[in-house]
């Protein structure tokens, strides 16, 4: 794993942690509100039940004889505590949101750095591979040059031996390939190297294999 890949991995991990922290804080705040609501309802129910028990005791004997239940006090305290905790939890939200924004920006930077590093490395490999195409492209151009010089149009030939469908121009293909290559992906002077190689190869063909030029 190269430096750009490591940086991207770390940035993504940091973003995930920040995102989880913010989501967990939201969930915690919601839980405190829910607990506060439950405790408030429980305190109210306990107060009503205690009042009913006290009323029954007064009615029966004239005095409150039932031992007081501390549920209402306990639940009231719990409701207040959860409301306070919800406020404290909510107060952490802005810092967590800023942390997530920063992590998002860092991740974007890491993605762009990774893209550039991978692009440049791949482009280098592509350009190195193109160097290996100089010879084949030059041969296509040289073959066409020999044909054009020895058989200037129009010329007669036997279609049965040379089906027209098989007489497509390798030179035209080579030119099309060269024209298609974008400047950013092509080594400096690549096209000139191909044509120079083709010229040298054409001359060699005439000198060594044919022996003369027209």
- What are the pLDDT digits (tens) for 99-138? 999 999 999 999 999 999 999 999 999 999 999 999 999 9
Contacts of 135 (CB under 8 A, 6+ apart): 197
Average pLDDT on 23-52 reads: 91
Same domain, 138 and 108: no
Asked whether the beta carbons of 146 and 205 are under 8 A apart, the reply is yes
Q: Is the peptide bond before 37 cis (omega within 30 degrees of 0)?
A: no
Model confidence at 60: pLDDT above 80: no
- pLDDT score for 64: 63
97, 119, 141 — which closes off a domain? 119
Give the total number of structural domains in the chain: 2
Quick one: 19 and 82 in the same domain?
A: yes
- pLDDT score, position 65: 53
Q: 176, exposed or middle or buried, with CB in 10 Å at 0-12, 13-18, 19+?
A: exposed
pLDDT > 60? residue 214: no
Closest CA to 18 of 93, 102, 108, 100: 100
Q: Which of 200, 206, 207 is nearest to 150 (CA)?
A: 206
Of residues 63 and 193, more confidently modeled: 193
Predicted pLDDT of residue 175: 94
The answer to whether residue 10 sits within a structural domain is: yes
pLDDT at 52 over 70: yes
Q: Are residues 109 and 163 in the same domain?
A: no
Could you tell me the pLDDT band of residue 53, with boundaries at 50, 70 and 90? Answer: confident
Residues 94 and 180 in one domain: no
The 3-state secondary structure of the chain, one letter per residue: CCHHHHHHHHHHHHHHHHHHHHHHHHHHHHHHHHHHHHHHHHHHHHHHHHHHHHHHHHHHHCCCCCCCCCHHHHHHHHHHHHHHHHHHHHHCHHHHHHHHHHHHHHHHHHHHHHHHHHHHHHHHHHHHHHHCCHHHHHHHHHHHHHHHHHCCCCCCCCCCCCCHHHCCCHHHHHHHHHHHCCHHHCCCCHHHHHHHHHHHHHHHHHHHHHCCCC
- Segments forming the whole domain that contains residue 196: 132-210
Rounded average pLDDT over 10-26: 96
What residues contact residue 44 under an 8 Å CB cut-off, 6+ apart? 72
Structure tokens at 126: 């592509």
d(CA 96, CA 118): 32
The pLDDT assigned to 62 comes to: 67
% of the chain at pLDDT higher than 70: 94
Q: What is the pTM of this model?
A: 0.66
**pLDDT tens, residue by residue, 131-186:** 999 999 999 999 999 988 888 777 787 888 888 888 888 999 999 999 999 988 89
Residue 127, in any domain of the structure: no
> To which residue do tokens 């298609």 refer?
180
Residue 55 within a domain: yes
Token pair for residue 158? 């036997």
Question: Mean pLDDT throughout 12-36?
Answer: 96
User: What percentage of the chain carries pLDDT values higher than 90?
Assistant: 64
Tell which wins on pLDDT, 102 or 57: 102
CA distance from start to end of the chain: 59
Summarised one tens digit per residue, pLDDT across range 73-88 is 888 899 999 999 999 9
User: pLDDT confidence of 67, banded at 50, 70, 90?
Assistant: low
């Amino acid at each position: 794993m190269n430096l750009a890949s490591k940086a991207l991995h770390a940035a993504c991990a940091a973003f995930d942690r920040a995102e989880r922290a913010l989501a967990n804080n939201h969930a915690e705040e919601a839980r405190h509100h829910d607990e506060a609501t439950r405790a408030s309802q429980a305190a109210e129910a306990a107060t009503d039940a205690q009042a009913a028990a006290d009323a029954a005791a007064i009615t029966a004997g004239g005095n409150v004889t039932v031992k007081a239940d501390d549920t209402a006090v306990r639940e009231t305290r719990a409701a207040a505590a959860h409301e306070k905790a919800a406020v404290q939890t909510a107060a952490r939200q802005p810092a967590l949101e800023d942390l997530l924004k920063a992590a998002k920006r860092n991740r974007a930077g890491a993605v762009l750095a990774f893209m550039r590093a991978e692009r440049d490395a791949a482009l280098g490999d592509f350009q190195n591979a193109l160097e290996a195409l100089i010879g084949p492209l030059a041969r296509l151009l040289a073959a066409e040059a020999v044909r054009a010089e020895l058989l200037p149009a129009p010329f007669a030939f036997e279609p049965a031996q040379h089906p027209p469908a098989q007489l497509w121009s390798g030179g035209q293909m080579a030119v099309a390939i060269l024209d298609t290559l974008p400047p950013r992906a092509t080594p400096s002077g690549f096209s000139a190297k191909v044509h120079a190689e083709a010229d040298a190869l054409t001359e060699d063909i005439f000198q060594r294999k044919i022996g003369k030029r027209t």
